[in-house]
Amino acid sequence: MSEHGGPRATRIMGVLNVTPDSFSDGGRYFTTADAIAHGRELVAEGADIVDVGGESTRPGATRVALDEELRRILPVVTALAGDGTTVSIDTMNAATARAAVAAGASIVNDVSGGLADARMAATVAELGATFVISHWRGHSAVMEDRVHYDDVVADVVREIEAQTSAAVAAGVEPARVVVDPGLGFAKRGPHNWTLLAHLDALAALGFPVMIGVSRKRFLGELVGDEGVAPTRDLPTAVLSALLADDVWAVRVHDVAATRVALDALSALRRSRS
């Protein structure tokens, strides 16, 4: 994958949860065969990156043992990377990141931004992988209790700046850092909307930005569904198009809808030129 130099179309990162309990699609792709097949389907639908995760980070989720996480993700990463797919590993464990990169992953997407495992940043630096650093205030079991902000934009930017500084100090190349505001992680609906409206403040840190709005609860509140429903994919695709100029990548479940939204935006712009 080419790193951050030069103008590039917004990347679509397709979500592949190899878990029985993820908030959106847990259990649908829990077998190795189903997970590999879905990863290939995401690529066929237009994903530029497939993000493979073996541990749910939904509110209240319990941690997964390291050996179980590795059992879930390694054959999937190996198969998809063997296809030539750009693979990201969604993990908070440095040992999982190391094993996944050895299996062919080139991006480490850590929702804790290096805070859950003190070895993560140094491991990513050693591996030479791209490091997606998300804003984070604690594991799923406690994050709902840590939603107080004096100024959500200023507080998130300050806390991510501390995380990125720690990563760079550990040896991660700044050109390989991507930041994520961590929507839904220790944040209420209004916090998420405010962060989306002020992504420029996060981008001012000098790193590309990734967002993960897909099927989040605050979109459910917008469209009036009480559970995870396909209706959340429409606002996800709309936001992906609206924010395309501001972000390096959008992390989504419904790749096909997001690809159509981004292609429609591109077609409109070509017609105006």
Active site residues: 216, 251
Neighbouring-strand partners of residue 11? 249
Q: Could you tell me if 220 and 228 are in contact, meaning their C-beta atoms sit under 8 angstroms apart?
A: yes
Closest to 12 (Cα-Cα) out of 51, 40, 38, 41 = 51
Q: Which two tokens stand for residue 44?
A: 């066929």
H/E stretch holding 197:
helix 189-197
* Helices and strands (DSSP H and E) totals, the chain: 10, 8
For residues 52 and 96, what is the distance between their CA atoms, to the nearest angstrom? 11
H/E stretch holding 52:
strand 49-53
Cα dihedral sign for 26, 31, 35, 38?
Answer: negative
Neighbouring-strand partners of residue 88? 51, 107
Q: What single-letter DSSP state applies at residue 213? A: -
Instruction: Say if residue 101 is exposed, middle or buried (CB neighbours under 10 Å; 0-12, 13-18, 19+).
Output: buried
For residues 54 and 70, what is the distance between their CA atoms, to the nearest angstrom? 8
Q: Which two tokens stand for residue 37?
A: 């097949």
